[in-house]
Structure formats: C-alpha cells, structure tokens
Chains A and B, each alone.
Chain A
C-alpha cells in the first residue's frame, strides 16, 4: 500500500522532471529569447541605474542680473553651487528668458532687480527677485522651487547679519542620515529595479508556456500523456521559478559588484524571502497562461498587469499618497511587499523582526495565486 504510494509519487516526480527537461530544451533552442531572459535583465539594471542615479540634478538655469552687485553675484554663485541647478545662461534681456524656457534650454530662470543690493541694505521694503520655473516636469519643478527658496533663505540671513541689520539667533541644525548616508539615488533605486525586472521576466516566462502550447497545437499531445494537472502546473512553473532565481542572483551580483549597493542585512534571508515573491509571480503567470487562448492574449494580460504593478508597487508613487481605495488594491501587489523587503534588507539591515508582515503576505499571495492557477489549469484541461 505504502509502497505503491511512494511509487506513484516517484513516477509523478519523474514526469515533472521530463516536462522540465522539455521546457529547458525548448528554451535553449530559441537563442534570442534565452539571451533576453538571462542577460538583458542585468544589462538593463546597469543602464537604468546609471541614468537615474542623481535624481533631479543640474537643471539648466538662466539668469538676468540687472543689479551687477557683489550681493547679486553671491546669490548666483550659491545657486550654481546647489547640486540641483547649474548656471548655463547669463542673459541681458527678459525676452531671452522666455525663448530659453520655451525651447527647454533653461528650466529655471531668475531675474534680479536693479535695486537688489540697495534695498537689501536699507530698512525699506525688501528686494524682490523673480523666479520663473518650467512646470512641465512636475518633479523637477517642485525640486527647483524648494532649492531656490532654500538658497535664498540661507543667503538672506547671512547677508542681513553681515550688514548688521539683525542680531542672529541661531539654531544649530545638524542632520544625520542613516541607512543611505550619501542619499545616493542609485542605492535607493537598484533594489527596486531588481524587484521590478525580476517580476517582469518571471511573469512573462510563466505566462506564455501553456498559451504557446495551445496556440501551436502541442497542448493536446501533452494532455494525452499521463501528466496530471498538478504535475503539469509544477512542470511549467518550476522552470519559470528557476529563471527567476537565476535572474535574481545575476542582478544581485551586478548591483553589488558594479554599483556597490550596500548589503546590510543577511543575504541568506534575502534569498529566502525572494522565493515566495517568485512563487506569487509564477502563480499569476500560470493563471494568465491557463486563462488565455493565444499568446497574444496572454501578452496583453501580462502587459496590463505589469503596468498596474509599476503603479501600485510604490516604485514611483509612494503608496501612502494614493487614494484609500487604491491603497487597498495595492496590498495585493506582490512587488510592493517585495520592494519593502529588498530596500529594508539591503539598506536598513532589517531582518525577520521588521519584515514578517511582508513575508507572510507574500506567502499568502503565493498560496492564493497557485490555487487559482491549479484551478484554472484543471478547468482548461476538462
């Protein structure tokens, strides 16, 4: 009795193994696809990390200085020294500012009035500088506004104290930045991109498997084999999990070796916590695969899901800034939980104590998506 049971499990495992072998042979034949799956994620990580490492920086500034005083030059120098802006144009007439802003050659313009320094030194109404900001890029616009106001507030108290207009009373404000002391944009974005690219590739691999068999008419051949549904799901799912795992290690290595992203937590924990994430994604992929008749349909679903993930994951828009309903929906986004895990583990050195809610949610989602996948594959095969 028990022997036949063991025998049956062994046979099942053998069948799953055969299916996996078939999948891998198929994958190896399509060279372009294989290259894409294995190399492009790491390459993409390199390119994107290089591109967005600085966030908003060196935005072109145009200046119209009608005062030509020491104070106005001091203001311009300090603006130029701010990392966010860079002095590019020094114009003589106001129309030129309009032209530069229109053409996007300048994103920020400052007009310093002729009476700037004289009013600064006197008791009369304060001098008024005009700041023109290109609002087409909302992030750049708001960063530039806060940069200018920061520089102006610093310089104005310095200058006023220098002219003896006020007796300063200061707060000695010291900041101490933890977890990412240099506030490096790259250290912030690489753990997130790692999660996102992993999500995409794994989902695409998992979702096309069955749809492709159906479209090419090879699914019938698989159905008449002794494979049962669970074995079919596992045989299709495991190669996708393996691809996801390989990608994870490849990108992690790139992040560490090329970009020196800190790894303050335990690597073992990161690998362990990655597994439920990959499982959730593969479960979704298999469900999509079972639901769609053609590859094109599967692709469409993958696309829409990937778009939703980008937005719901908190990758671009912090989750707490979303409307409440969307915040609720976003709880079902595996990427959101995984991004918290990668960032906290790599940068903050967090562990199980801080991350158990995310890990348990992922495990729950994995159970949910695999049940869905199994159910739908079973329905399809009948």
Chain B
C-alpha cells in the first residue's frame, strides 16, 4: 500500500465532493439540517389522553370522583355521553382513548362500604396510550378511594413516600434524549453519499479506469473512506453545534472522544457499504440498500424510541448487528452521562470490529471481481 497513491485517491474524491454542490450538501450540511428538522418535530409537549365519560350515577360524589381523575392535565374529558351504545362508535372513530362508565348506585355503594364498580373501556389499538390511560385511571381511582378511607389512628395520606430522581436528564426533557439519539440517524448521510459514490463509479463505468491504474483495492477504499469520513466529521461538528448551541442539549463528555467515536461509526457503516456495493449495480439499488438496511431499522431497532428489546434473541441479534444501536448508546452516554473512554471501550471495540471485518470482506469480494 502506497501512501502516495492513496492520497491521490483522497484528493480525487475530495474534488468530486466539493465540485458538486448537491453532493457537498449531502455530505456536510444535511446532517445538521436533518437534526434541526427532526428534533423540532420530536420536541413535543407531554402527551394528554382523551377520555369520554358516561356518568349514570350523577351524584356529587361521582362528579367529585371525575374531578379527581382529571385533576392533572394528562387526562382530558372530551365527551359526556348519555347512552352506553355511544361508546363503541366513538372509540372506533378515534375520538377518545377510553370511555369511563360510572354505573348507577356508585355513590351509595361507596358510602355503604361496598366495593363500587367502575368500568373503563379502553381502545387498545395503541398499546402505549392504552396502558398509560389504564394505569393513570387505576392509580387515580386508588388515590380517590384512599383519600376517603377512614384512617384508624393514621394521620397521613401517603402511605409510602416515593422520591424519584431522574439521572442524566433530570427534567426528562424529550429533546435532551432525542437529539443525541438522532445524531446516529443524521450521521448516516455521509454513508449514504459514500454508497452513492461507489455505485456511481460502477454505473458510469469509471471504475474500469481505476482498475488499469496502479491503485490497489485497499488504497482505493481507504482513500475513498478517508475523503468521506473527513467531510463527514465536518458534518458531525456542524450537527453537534446545532445540538449544543441551538437545542442547548448538555454536552458533559469530551468532544475529541466523541468525534473519534463518530469516526469509528463511519468506519462500521461505510465498511458494510463496501460489502454491499460489490453486489450493487446502480445508484438506485444503492439507495434501496441504504434505506432498507440502515435508515429504517435505525429508527426502530436502535433503541432510539423504544429501548432495545432483550426479550427475543433474534431481535436482540439484529439490534446488535446495527452500527446505529451502538452509536445511539455512545452518543447518549457521552452527551448526557459524560462518560470517558474507559466506559466507551466496549461499544468502540464493537464498531471497530464491524468496520475492520467488513472492509476485509469487501476487499476480498473486490479482488474476486477484478480477477
């Protein structure tokens, strides 16, 4: 491997990137731009759940019970119903998450010391919302009942005091959690550009020119990788600036360490791309592979929104095979936990292993193709 020839490849690639404004946008600015866009959409307020009520008791006590249920902002009564058969059509139209039925005799039973039945009909379509509405209705009902219970010598309302501390993200700010996680998504853009560049070279048959030059496969890929990784690092700094200056996400770790790990993330992603590229004939196919292999799974399997599943081994295996899973973890740990290199060694080695392994495989496939 000659440094001289490799530098020549780097230079050629840089020229390609800088010359084409669209390519330049894709490699340098698009991550920051996407981070800006995506984070804005994810910076939503606390969810509120919509409730329809059928109060057949109509007593001061039942109204008091309803007031307890909706004392916080997260449960909102959107409809007062008169008949039971109004419930299902309402839920089917999606106008409420749940309907609460207070049967006649609620107050009488409660005051008479008997259990007072209440029914909640929940739309289970969205399990997260469904569980949330079910949990908060149950908890509030207990609070209501406990407040009315006759204490025998007990003066306090709370039986166990729970003091909850949220670490690393004290206010449970969704931006602070999402922005570092989304870095893993937006930093796929340089990989995207890399994949397209490899495919374009094949599609427009300029790769043949390279074959007859003295540049070896290793020099070719290293040069190309370096060009895209270096411009990619520029894009990472820009995205980092958006995260820290615009969204004011705390950055508690070391920036040099962070950028080093971004480099490893690029190595893993681009390495896999080299392997894929040896099977791909056109830019169109390259787009499909990057979309379907990297982008979509990264949204859902990398622990960005729901944590990585450990309940099924096949799912766990796929998540672990995705470079983004490790980078979401790295990014959140450095941004929010401020962890140093010693804690980051494991994910860093995983990314390095993936990258080196994939590049090795890619080179083998490349040599086979030339021969």
Contact = CB atoms under 8 A, between A and B. Distances in A.
A179 B41 contact: no
A123 B299 CA distance: 51
B352 interface: no
Given A36-B289, A102-B339, A303-B192, 17 more contacts: A47-B314, A58-B311, A126-B160, A132-B167, A135-B177, A165-B153, A166-B152, A168-B149, A171-B65, A175-B134, A175-B137, A177-B121, A179-B125, A197-B296, A295-B287, A300-B26, A307-B34
A184 interface: yes
Contact of B160 (A102, A142, A152, A312): A152
B80 interface: no
Given A135-B172, A317-B44, A37 B163 contact: no
A145 B347 CA distance: 28
Interface string A80-120: 00000000000000000000011110010000000000001
Nearest to B120: A175
B159 interface: yes
A229 interface: no
* Residue among B44, B158, B167, B200 having the largest count of chain A Cβ atoms under 10 Å: B167
Interface in B58-90: 65, 88-89
B337 interface: yes
Contacts of A178: 88, 91, 121-124
Chain B binding surface SS class: helix
Contact of A125 (B148, B156, B336): B156
B319 interface: yes
Contacts of B65: 171
Contacts of B88: 178
A348 B87 CA distance: 13
A140 B172 CA distance: 10
A296 B283 contact: yes
B156 to A, nearest CB: 6
Contact of A296 (B23, B149, B177): B23
Interface residues of B, number: 123
B152 A167 contact: yes
Given A132-B167, A156-B160, A307-B37, A171 B110 contact: yes
B343 A102 contact: yes
B93 A297 contact: no
Given A47-B318, A50-B314, A197-B296, A153 B34 contact: no
Interface in A45-68: 47-48, 50-59
B287 A166 contact: no
Interface stretch (B2-10, B265-273, B300-308, B360-368): B300-308
B315 A51 contact: yes
Interface in A155-213: 155-157, 159-160, 164-185, 187-188, 196-197, 200-201, 204, 208, 212
A362 interface: no
B301 A51 contact: yes
A170 B42 CA distance: 40
Interface stretch (A10-18, A232-240, A318-326): A318-326
Interface stretch (B111-119, B227-235, B238-246): B111-119
A299 B287 contact: yes
Interface stretch (B139-147, B211-219, B256-264): B139-147
B123 A179 contact: yes
Contact of B154 (A165, A169, A200, A321): A165
B173 to A, nearest CB: 8
Contacts of A48: 296-297, 300-301
Contacts of B123: 177-180, 348
B47 A321 contact: yes
B150 A32 contact: no
Nearest to B20: A296
A149 B139 contact: yes
B22 interface: yes
A200 to B, nearest CB: 6
* Residue among A167, A175, A204 having the largest count of chain B Cβ atoms under 10 Å: A175
Nearest to A46: B314
A74 to B, nearest CB: 12
A354 B92 CA distance: 7
Interface in B198-225: 200
A36 B163 contact: no
A289 B68 CA distance: 56
A141 B110 contact: no
A56 B281 contact: no
Contacts of B131: 183
Given A166-B149, A200-B296, A344-B94, A302 B144 contact: no
A52 B177 contact: no
A50 B312 contact: yes
Contacts of A147: 135
A150 B135 contact: yes
Given A126-B159, A178-B91, A317-B44, A310 B150 contact: no
A204 B306 contact: no
